[in-house]
Amino acid sequence: MRIAIALAALAVIFYAVQGGEWSTVDLLRQTPRLARVKHEVDSLKHEVDSLKKYKELLQTDPVMQEKIAREEFGMVKGNKELLYRYTEPEAGSRKPEKSRQ
């Protein structure tokens, strides 16, 4: 009888420590994952801060706005000379020849 009670008590203690939805081993395995996720969150916060600073510059800095207008959209300021660059067509993209009649 004592052995059965002792075994039952051990089973209850074991279930209290290891049983349920999350066992102690599962919780211990989460520690490295938590550190990794915290590191990712810190990296993303840094990236968001950088993007906010870039957005602020885009909205308020005329030099940055002019640079993007030139580089991205090919715009020029004032009466500056426009330069066009023509390139040869790629080897595989020939225009269809007109049929001769």
Rounded to an integer, what distance in angstroms lies between the CA atom of residue 2 and that of residue 8? 10
In a domain, 56, yes or no: yes
Per-residue pLDDT for the chain (101 aa), expressed as one digit of tens each? 899 999 999 998 888 877 777 777 888 888 999 999 999 999 999 999 999 999 999 999 999 988 888 888 777 777 766 666 778 877 766 655 555 54
In a domain, 63, yes or no: yes
Query: 12 lies in which domain range?
Result: 2-73
| Torsion sign over Cα 76, 79, 80, 83 | positive
* CA dihedral sign, ordered 22, 28, 31, 33: negative
When divided into structural domains, the chain yields a total of: 1
**39: Cβ contacts below 8 Å, ≥ 6 apart:** none
For residue 11, being part of any structural domain is answered with yes
